[in-house]
């Protein structure tokens, strides 16, 4: 069997805890002879800063670019708030995304039947919810130049960033959204702030033009981001694929994630362009952060990390069947009310991080045996 080279970057705080559970699942697939993983591990974020004085080393960038896929945990925390801005843990992730050319971030927001009551919205609003947020990941205000903080007169200062998008950047992310929509509900809602920002005007024009030229069977709607955030809370099921820029995608994806009951449930995939050898650079990570407040207590929910692994199997490794196995095992665990504290509903006791991982493995055993 051809082995798959996976770079595992657990990161900081709960990152390593939830990653341990994903590694158990990878071990399970290896021990069953279903997939053979060649795993490299590396440091990123604060843990890399502590050891190497930088949140991302050249070595990790090289390993990432050589791997078949990167499985990422989460980074950051108050411990590094005083570190020089350019050496903060977040920079490690942002630079890794940029070095790997990961322009497309896919963030599904799916409500599992068993978790419909965990949402802060009424069950009928979210039951069966299945949205895919397609977020542009290496452009816009996150990376735009000029940026900085400069002194003006009288010891006053000004902080500034630049929002800019080129035709090329807009078209390549819009294509991803349309291609995904074609495999789902054939509907794209493109989100911008074209009533205030020129970059949004161009965004809107290019997204429409691409649809008219190549995707005439996809239904396209444009929405301003403030309205979209309102609509997401009012009637989230109107959406199929949401296409948006880096900053708006960051905000809307947290909002959409919470519709599902917990940030601890949602995976994401970040993809680049296919290279000449046919490989697509890719990184998989949970939407949640490093949650310093609950780290080290064995209470973090590892499901988002494990579902990120499932996305990796599906989008990068051509193991759709195994990805479905993980999804089914998670469904089964939830339907039996095995819950970590974030999704707990008062039946029995919440389980810890490692117990949740074990429960998912035991369901994998059961499903695989049938
Ligand atoms: C995310 C995170 C990151 C982002 C941070 C950690 C840099 O919030 O992946 O959504 O803003 O992109
Ligand atoms: Mg975010």
Domain boundaries, the chain: 1-103+272-370, 109-134+167-262
Contact 89, 80 (CB under 8 A): yes
Residue 107's DSSP bridge partners are 133
Select which of 27, 226, 293, 320 is catalytic: 226
Ligand 2: distance of its center to the CA of 229 in Å?
A: 15
Which of 3.30.420, 2.40.50, 3.40.50, 2.40.128 would CATH assign to domain 109-134+167-262? 3.40.50
Q: What share of the chain is helix, strand, coil (3-state, %, to 5)?
A: 50, 20, 30
Ligand 1 neighbourhood includes 250 CB (under 6 angstroms):
yes
- Beta carbons within 8 Å of 14's beta carbon, 6+ residues apart: 73, 74, 288, 290, 291, 292, 294, 295, 300, 353
Ligand 1: distance of its center to the CA of 250 in Å?
A: 6
Rounded Cα gap, residues 143 and 64, in angstroms: 21
Which ligand is in closest contact with the Cα of 93?
A: 1
Q: How many residues are listed for the chain in this entry?
A: 370
CATH for the stretch 1-103+272-370: 3.40.718.10
Is 250 labeled as catalytic in the residue annotation? yes
> 100 — phi, psi (to 5°)?
-90, -5
- Beta carbons within 8 Å of 68's beta carbon, 6+ residues apart: 4, 5, 6, 279, 316, 317
Per-residue pLDDT of the chain (370 residues; tens, 9 = 90+): 789 999 999 999 999 999 999 999 999 999 999 999 999 999 999 999 999 999 999 999 999 999 999 999 999 999 999 999 999 999 999 999 999 999 999 999 999 988 898 888 999 999 999 999 999 999 999 999 999 999 999 999 999 999 999 999 999 999 999 999 999 999 999 999 999 999 999 999 999 999 999 999 999 999 999 999 999 999 999 999 999 999 999 999 989 988 988 888 999 999 999 988 888 999 999 999 999 999 999 999 999 999 999 999 999 999 999 999 999 999 999 999 999 999 888 878 999 999 999 999 999 999 999 8
Select which of 12, 68, 91, 142 is catalytic: 142
Ligand 1 pocket: which of 109, 250, 263 to mutate (most atoms <8 Å of CB)?
250
Q: How far apart are the first and last CA of the chain?
A: 24
The radius of gyration of the chain's CA atoms, rounded to the nearest angstrom, is: 21
């Amino acid at each position: 069997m051809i082995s798959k080279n996976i770079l595992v970057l657990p990161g900081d705080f709960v990152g390593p805890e939830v990653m341990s559970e994903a590694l158990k699942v990878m071990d399970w697939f290896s021990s069953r002879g279903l997939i053979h993983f060649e795993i490299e591990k590396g440091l990123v974020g604060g843990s890399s800063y502590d050891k190497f004085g930088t949140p991302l080393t050249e070595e990790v960038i090289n390993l990432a670019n050589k791997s078949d896929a990167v499985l990422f945990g989460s980074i950051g925390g108050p411990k590094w708030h005083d570190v020089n801005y350019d050496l903060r843990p977040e920079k490690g992730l942002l630079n890794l995304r940029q070095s790997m050319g990961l322009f497309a971030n896919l963030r599904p927001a799916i409500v599992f039947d068993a978790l419909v009551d965990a949402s802060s919205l009424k069950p009928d609003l979210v039951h069966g919810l299945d949205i895919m947020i397609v977020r542009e990941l290496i452009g816009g205000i996150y990376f735009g130049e000029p940026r900085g903080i400069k002194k003006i007169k009288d010891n006053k200062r000004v902080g500034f960033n630049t929002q800019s998008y080129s035709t090329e950047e807009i078209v390549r992310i819009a294509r991803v959204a349309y291609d995904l929509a074609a495999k789902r509900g054939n509907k794209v809602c493109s989100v911008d702030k074209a009533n205030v920002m020129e970059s949004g005007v161009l965004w809107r024009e290019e997204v429409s033009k691409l649809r008219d030229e190549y995707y005439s069977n996809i239904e396209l709607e444009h929405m301003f981001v403030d309205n979209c955030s309102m609509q997401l809370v009012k009637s989230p099921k109107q959406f199929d694929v949401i296409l948006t820029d880096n900053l708006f995608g960051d905000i809307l994806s947290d909002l959409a994630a919470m519709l599902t009951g917990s940030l601890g449930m949602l995976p994401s995939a970040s993809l680049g362009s296919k290279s000449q050898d046919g490989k697509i650079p890719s990184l998989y990570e949970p939407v949640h952060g490093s949650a310093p407040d609950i780290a080290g207590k064995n209470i973090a929910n590892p499901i988002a990390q494990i579902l990120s692994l499932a996305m990796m199997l599906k989008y990068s490794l051509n193991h759709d069947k195994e990805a479905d196995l993980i999804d089914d095992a998670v469904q089964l665990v939830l339907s039996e009310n095995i819950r970590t504290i974030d999704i707990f509903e008062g039946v029995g006791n919440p389980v810890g991080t490692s117990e949740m991982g074990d429960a998912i493995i035991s369901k994998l055993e059961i499903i695989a045996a049938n």
